[in-house]
């Protein structure tokens, strides 16, 4: 992928449940490679549904999705997911795996040899600020919330995927740890230049981390703007966010 390519493209994507309920409605967007798009919206606005449609965990009922330059229909979902890092809240770690096994999961699924996996796991744990010798053999249950989330990020990065999907990754953390992780995430993002779709309902997080911000409501993508321009509109939903931000 050269510059100017898109990591994710959605065209008029709709998702209607059997009972007529509309989860997504006419969503179109393009994520240029190397950019971070933050999706913001209230609970039930469709941001998580949109995210899960990108790695084929959910199948929208209409529209077209292209990921990493290829139609979703042409992807083997298993192979696609191994090339797309996926971070969810801390509950997504496997409680019966050690930290090392959690981080090394996707490389292992891809069949890397054990020496390479070990080296990669150590590198990643250091990258997210965890000492491999200290934490590698622990279980998720023996870590703090912040540590668990670092492991989650390391796990998503393990196979060096060009695209990361992050679903409220810092949502369950206390404000101080959260601010720390956001800062580290920003440094990491600038260093690695991955394409990232990041879901949150926290406007401060969106402004701090996004190159661009997409605002969702009722299954529709109301507006996509540069992070700095988010408030430059009369959109009433934006006004609501302005109120909390002030």
Partner 1 sequence: MEYILSHPFEILKMTGEHLLLVGVSTAIATLVGIPLGVFLTRRPAWSRWVLGAANVIQTIPSLALFGFLIPLPLLGGIGARTAVVALILYALLPIIRNTHAGIASVDPAIREAGVGMGMTDWQLLTRVDLPLALGIIMTGLRLATVISVGVATIAAAIGAGGLGMYIFRGVSMVDDQLILAGALPAALLALAADFLLGLLGRAVTRKPLLCMKLLAAGALAALAAGGAFLLASGGEAREARPIVIGSKNFTEQSILGELLAQRLERAGFKVDRRLYLGGTLICHNALVAGQIDAYVEYTGTAYTAILKRTPVSDARRVYDDLQKSYLEGFGVRLTRPLGFNNTFAIMVRGGDARRLGVKTISDAVAHARRWRAAFGVEFLEREDGYRGLAAAYGLDFAEPPKVMDLGLTYRALADGKVDLIAGDATNGLVSALDLFILEDDLGYFPPYEAVPFVRADALAGHAGLQEAIDSLGGVVSDETMQRLNYAVDGERRDLREVVGEFLDGLGR
- DSSP per position, 65-101: EEETTEEGGGS-HHHHHHTEEEE--GGGS-TTS-HHH
Contact, 117 vs 100, CB < 8 A?
no
153 near partner 1 (CB under 8 A): no
Q: List the beta bridge partners of residue 223.
A: 215
Task: Count residues near partner 1 (CB under 8 A).
Answer: 22
80 near partner 1 (CB under 8 A): yes
Q: Nearest approach, Cβ of 246 to partner 1 (angstroms)?
A: 34
109 near partner 1 (CB under 8 A): yes
82 near partner 1 (CB under 8 A): yes
Q: Which is nearer to partner 1, 55 or 149 (CB)?
A: 55
Q: How many residues does the chain have?
A: 246
Phi, psi of 218 (to 5 degrees): 55, 35
Q: Which is nearer to partner 1, 112 or 231 (CB)?
A: 112
Q: Which is nearer to partner 1, 98 or 233 (CB)?
A: 98
Q: Rounded to whole angstroms, how far apart are CA atoms 204 and 229? A: 14
Handedness of CA 173, 174, 175, 178 (dihedral sign): negative
**Per-residue contact string for residues 162-201; x = within reach of partner 1 by CB under 8 A:** ---x------------------------------------
Which one among 47, 66, 81, 120 touches partner 1, defined by CB under 8 A? Answer: 81
Q: Which is nearer to partner 1, 168 or 237 (CB)?
A: 168
β-strand pairing of 36-41 with 62-67: unpaired
Q: Nearest approach, Cβ of 38 to partner 1 (angstroms)?
A: 19
CA distances from residue 202 to 56, 125, 146 in whole angstroms, order as listed: 25, 27, 18
1 near partner 1 (CB under 8 A): no
Closest C-alpha to 12, from 1, 30, 25: 25
Number of Cβ within a 10 Å radius of residue 243: 9
β-strand pairing of 36-41 with 195-200: parallel
Q: Nearest approach, Cβ of 39 to partner 1 (angstroms)?
A: 17
Q: Which is nearer to partner 1, 195 or 217 (CB)?
A: 195
Q: Rounded to whole angstroms, how far apart are CA atoms 29 and 50? A: 11
95 near partner 1 (CB under 8 A): yes
96 near partner 1 (CB under 8 A): yes
Which one among 28, 91, 144, 232 touches partner 1, defined by CB under 8 A? Answer: 91
Q: Rounded to whole angstroms, how far apart are CA atoms 219 and 46? A: 5
- Binding residues for partner 1, rule: CB under 8 A, are 52, 55, 57, 78-82, 86, 88-89, 91-96, 105-106, 109, 155, 165
């Amino acid at each position: 992928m050269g510059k100017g390519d898109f990591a994710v493209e959605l065209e008029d994507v709709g998702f209607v449940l059997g009972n007529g309920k509309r989860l997504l409605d006419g969503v179109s967007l393009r994520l240029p490679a190397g950019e971070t798009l933050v999706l913001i919206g209230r609970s039930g606005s469709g941001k998580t549904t949109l995210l899960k449609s990108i790695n084929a965990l959910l199948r929208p009922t209409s529209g077209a999705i292209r990921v990493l330059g290829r139609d979703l229909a042409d992807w083997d979902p298993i192979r696609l997911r191994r090339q797309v890092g996926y971070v969810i809240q801390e509950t997504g770690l496997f409680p019966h795996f050690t930290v090392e096994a959690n981080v090394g999961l996707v490389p292992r699924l891809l069949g890397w040899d054990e020496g390479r996996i070990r080296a990669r796991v150590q590198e990643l744990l250091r990258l997210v600020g965890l000492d491999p010798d200290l934490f590698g053999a622990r279980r998720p249950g023996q870590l703090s919330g912040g540590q668990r989330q670092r492991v989650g990020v390391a796990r998503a990065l393990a196979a060096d995927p060009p695209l990361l999907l992050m679903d409220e990754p810092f949502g369950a953390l206390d404000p101080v740890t959260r601010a720390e992780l956001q800062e580290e995430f920003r440094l990491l993002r600038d260093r690695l230049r991955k394409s990232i779709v990041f879901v949150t309902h926290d406007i401060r997080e969106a402004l701090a981390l996004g190159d661009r911000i997409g605002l969702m409501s009722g299954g529709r993508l109301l507006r996509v703007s540069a992070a700095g321009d988010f408030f430059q509109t009369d959109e009433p939903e934006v006004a609501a966010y302005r109120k909390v931000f002030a």
